[in-house]
């Protein structure tokens, strides 16, 4: 069953990478790229709500602990417990360093499509409640929407982002504190069932360990596959809205 899930994930990721926007990423003007990233910020801001919903809806204490740990990374603290810049703040700073202004970021409203994708994503989790395979469904959707595809999105966008920001190994470009971090730490990185703690686990891998344990039947597997397809379609829909703008 896990092999089926792995194959399906790889197919969805391959299709997602082939989105027309990513295929023509080099041709997008910086003004349009910033507009895309500012809209994408609204989805990033919604992740906290998704994680908190899943924590409340989960029954398994171990999975709750994993999800809570990932959520807490959004609000890091130093060794003395003093709050550091949140991921939201780091995203804001990356956008500024890419050329956006505070006014552009703060005044720009969600497009109807962005708002719909955000709302529908939340509703996909709500729809799991009361279902026979609710628990595995929550983990499957959260992992694929908020971790696996996030890493794929940022790896596709990094081709342009890296023109102005670096992974920390450049002496003449500012380091990306948000996009690069999430591209690496959210990554799928291995097939489900092949996770290794050597070198540390990514968020996708942490959740994959629980996902494998929860998929105990063909019905549970099919339920997960359908939710992953939903996550893929929602993210694909988000980028669809920019195709006409980018071709102008």
Q: CATH code at 232?
A: 1.20.910.10
pLDDT in tens, the chain (248 residues): 899 999 999 999 999 999 999 999 999 999 999 999 999 999 999 999 999 999 999 999 999 999 999 999 999 888 888 888 899 999 999 999 999 999 999 999 999 999 999 999 999 999 999 999 999 999 999 999 999 999 999 999 999 999 999 987 767 889 999 999 999 999 999 999 999 887 789 999 999 999 999 999 999 999 999 999 999 999 999 999 999 776 55
| pLDDT of 167 | 84
Q: Look at residue 247 in the predicted model and tell me its pLDDT.
A: 54
Range of the domain at 134: 2-76+84-247
Which three-class secondary structure string do you get for the chain? CHHHHHHHHHHHHHHHHCCHHHHCHHHCCHHHHHHHHHHHHHHHHHHHHHHHHHHHHCCCHHHHHHHHHHHHCCCCECCCCCECCCHHHHHHHHHHHHCCCHHHHHHCCCCHHHHHHHHHHHHHHHCCCCCCCHHHHHHHHHHHHHHHHHHHHHHHHHHHHCCCEECCCCCCCEECCCHHHHHHHCCCCCCCCCCCCCCCCCHHHHHHHHHHHHCCCHHHHHHHHHHHHHHHHHHHHHHHCCHHHHHC
The total of structural domains in the chain comes to 1
Q: What is the pLDDT at residue 248?
A: 54
Residue 85's pLDDT is 87
């Amino acid at each position: 069953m896990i092999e089926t899930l792995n194959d399906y994930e790889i197919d969805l990721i391959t299709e997602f990478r082939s989105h027309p926007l990513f295929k023509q990423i080099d041709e997008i003007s910086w003004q349009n790229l910033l507009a895309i990233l500012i809209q994408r910020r609204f989805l990033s801001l919604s992740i906290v709500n998704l994680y908190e919903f899943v924590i409340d809806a989960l029954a398994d204490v171990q999975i709750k602990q994993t999800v809570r740990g990932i959520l807490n990374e959004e609000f890091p603290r130093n060794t003395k417990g003093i709050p550091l810049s949140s991921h939201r703040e780091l995203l804001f700073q990356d956008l500024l360093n890419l050329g956006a202004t505070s006014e552009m970021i703060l005044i720009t409203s969600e497009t109807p499509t962005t708002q719909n994708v955000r709302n529908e994503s939340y509703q996909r989790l709500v729809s799991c409640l009361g279902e026979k395979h609710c628990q595995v469904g929550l983990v499957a959707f959260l992992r694929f929407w908020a971790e696996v595809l996030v890493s794929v999105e940022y790896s596709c966008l990094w081709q342009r982002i890296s023109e102005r920001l670096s992974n920390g190994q450049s002496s003449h470009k500012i380091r990306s504190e948000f996009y690069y971090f999430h591209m690496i730490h959210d990554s799928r990185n291995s097939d489900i069932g092949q996770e290794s703690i050597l070198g540390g686990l990514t968020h996708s891998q942490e959740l994959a360990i629980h996902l494998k344990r929860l998929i105990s039947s063909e019905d549970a597997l099919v339920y997960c596959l359908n939710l992953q397809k939903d996550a893929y379609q929602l993210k694909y829909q988000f980028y669809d809205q920019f195709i006409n703008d980018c071709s102008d």
